[in-house]
Amino acid sequence: MNTQSYIASGVLEAYALGKLSEAEKIDVERLVAIYPELKAYLDRLNEQSKGEVRGGMDLKEALSKIKESERDAFIRVVEDSPNIQIKRMNTTSRWPLILVLLLITSLAMNVFFYGRMKTSQAKIKEVGAQNSEMAYKIESELEEIDHLKSKMAHFLNTNNLHVRMSGSDLSPAAYANVFWDKNTKAVFLSADNLPKPPKGHQYQLWAIEEGKAPVDAGVIEYSPWIQQLKTIEGTVKTFAVTLEKEGGNAVASTDQTYVIGNLENY
């Protein structure tokens, strides 16, 4: 049992003031007999309630006749009672003690619940961080799946001519894939493993016919997604990717060729 939560609930204060039913009293007495913390707290409440109000009324009885924030109502209840002779001045002198008791109880409950709130907030932040990390991982995996599905669709498209471009001496591990639609002549590129271009530079795709200068097939965004570039006509035999200034060049920098590949049987 969480004795601190039970104390903070105010049940013991209600017991001390005699506001509980008989069954509730029996349950409190049972728990107090089991848990020393509850007994110690109840003893402190009983000690605090031993003060007396002028005219023979003890503090517990006085508190039972008052509602929170109703000082005048309390005075009227006491003055109108035929069994109690009490002057307004005497009641007023006891009022600070009643306020102190109420304030102490309120502060104790506030401190307890504030601590619980801070603990809960810390747990919520921890769970939120874990969920955010999990959501990011799931989103990344879904994007990867979408990319693979798109790439597979181009591989399976019988209208496409596929060219795998392998890395040159500048970047032996680099590679990329070109898909050239035989009907529409649209060119699609998957920049699978190109090194990140330096600042102020971009990769550019070139279509090369035998005996002719390379033709600009489009500037490449540094992204793993399939990109649609330009429409290329002619009897292209080779595709190549070079590193150019940002925005691309009209003439290929052949000494900056990163990947290159030939079409088969076309």
Number of domains in the chain: 2
d(CA 74, CA 66) in angstroms, rounded, equals 5
Q: What is the pLDDT tens value at each position of the chain, 266 positions in all? A: 788 878 877 788 778 877 788 888 898 898 889 888 888 888 887 776 654 433 444 445 544 544 454 445 544 544 454 444 444 444 445 566 666 667 677 667 666 666 777 676 677 677 666 667 777 677 766 766 776 777 778 778 888 999 999 999 999 999 999 999 999 999 999 998 999 999 999 999 999 998 899 999 999 999 878 899 999 998 999 999 999 999 999 999 999 999 999 987 55
Question: Which of 28, 53, 52, 51 minimizes the C-alpha distance to 41?
Answer: 28
Residues 56 and 108 in one domain: yes
Residue 237 lies in a domain: yes
Residues spanned by the domain of 69: 3-127
Q: Do 103 and 170 sit in the same domain of this protein?
A: no
Task: Report the alpha-carbon distance of residue 2 to residue 34 in Å, rounded.
Answer: 13
Would you give the end-to-end CA distance of the chain in angstroms? 81
